[in-house]
Structure 1
Amino acid sequence: MIIRQITLDDQQQYLELIHKAYQSVEALGIHFAAATADLDFICEHITNNAVYGLQKSGQLVSTLSIRFPWGNNPGPYGLPHLGWFATDPDYKQLGLGNELMQWVEEHILINVLKAPAVTLGTAENHPWLIKMYEKYHFRRIGHANLGHGHTTIYLQKILNEALYQNWQNRQCQTNPQIV
């Protein structure tokens, strides 16, 4: 297995994985942007975010993206924000998504970005995603109706308590309404 950053050279394989992985979510009536992304949107996503993939026998089988607070589509909390987490249904229940999530967390979020915490959002009405993220030690921190036909639940994972406290103190100083 290889974990690496996805590039524009991977756009077609990435598109195919995303569509295949998100079919079951669409079948639930939950509409995530990734499910209907076309090749142009895929290229924009790869260009503007850090996209990582796990390959097995040369095939892309799991992927996870990081949106940045300074990027064109930041998460709502001023922290790196995970998205487009997907695993090929033919490779489900093998722990590959978990392996990719742990690798991105350790190697990129903690060691490279020195992120105090990370956030993600998912549909409130998805039957198992929130529980899965809570198993990864994410906790609920908010919700929003973004107009996609479901309520988005936001979750956060603190990666470094000391950095998080410093970040939170700075946030409270610049935005007194944040508690």
Structure 2
Amino acid sequence: MSNLNIRVATEADVKELYHIMHEAFTPLRELGIDWPSVNADEDMVRNNMKTTTMFVLEDEEQIISTISVRYPWEDRPSVATYPFVWWFATRPEFEGRGLGSKLLKYVEETFLRDTLKVPAVVLGTSGRLHPWLLDIYKRRGYQVFKEHENDDGDLGILMYKELIPEAFDSQYLKRP
């Protein structure tokens, strides 16, 4: 599996990305998590692709992992004035091999930090329904900046990671 490639998703990827999202998020659906990515259909995948930068990590045969970057200048409300990563999924048969981490690292460092010169990135996770993700993100350098009770009783946690520390300003973690 040495021939891995990271690229921006295209319309031709919609069906495969839907399949990956459905498989990867089945355990979260079973926990009752009601996020757009967890319950996405093909039209939602297509719309996400049109409104974000959706990356894929693939080998010669298939897409293995995907993640999307939302931007604070979009029409829809954002949680911070830094980009937000979401819709992060890896095919279950590839979990535990570090491939999703490789894609996230590319997005954080190569795309956001080195290309766009973004000082920080933001993400959201669940604090009660799958708390193991909180520890994973903390080990990757993310820090909690906001917690809120969701309508479903879950604890929503917003986290950020400094990408360019000398340019980071915590005031931009809050939307005006």
TM-score by length of 2: 0.90
- List per-residue Cα deviations over 1:100-140 (Å, max 9, x = no partner): 11111111101111111000001111131111111110010
Selected match of 1:35 from 31, 35, 38:
38
Give the distance between the partners of 1:148 and 1:12, measured in 2 at CA: 29
What residue number does 1:159 align with?
163
What residue number does 1:3 align with?
6
Equivalent AA in structure 2 for residue 160 of structure 1: I
- The two structures, once aligned, show a CA RMSD in angstroms of 1.9
Give the distance between the partners of 1:148 and 1:8, measured in 2 at CA: 33
The answer to whether the 8 Å contact 2:7/2:57 transfers is yes
SS at match of 1:152: strand
Q: What is the aligned residue count?
A: 171
- Aligned counterparts, 1:1-179, within 5 A: 1-125=4-128, 126-165=130-169, 168=170, 171=172
Give the distance between the partners of 1:157 and 1:63, measured in 2 at CA: 19
Equivalent AA in structure 1 for residue 108 of structure 2: E
Identify unmatched segments of 5+ residues in structure 1: none
Give the distance between the partners of 1:42 and 1:15, measured in 2 at CA: 6
- Displacement of 1:40: 1.3
The answer to whether the 8 Å contact 2:65/2:100 transfers is yes
Give the distance between the partners of 2:100 and 2:106, measured in 1 at CA: 10
Give the distance between the partners of 1:50 and 1:25, measured in 2 at CA: 23
Give the distance between the partners of 1:127 and 1:76, measured in 2 at CA: 20
Equivalent AA in structure 2 for residue 14 of structure 1: L
Identify unmatched segments of 5+ residues in structure 2: none
- Displacement of 1:77: 1.2
The answer to whether the 8 Å contact 1:75/1:119 transfers is no
Equivalent AA in structure 1 for residue 161 of structure 2: K
The answer to whether the 8 Å contact 2:29/2:39 transfers is no
SS at match of 1:93: coil
Give the distance between the partners of 2:42 and 2:138, measured in 1 at CA: 32
- List per-residue Cα deviations over 1:48-79 (Å, max 9, x = no partner): 00110111232111111100001134531111
Equivalent AA in structure 2 for residue 20 of structure 1: E
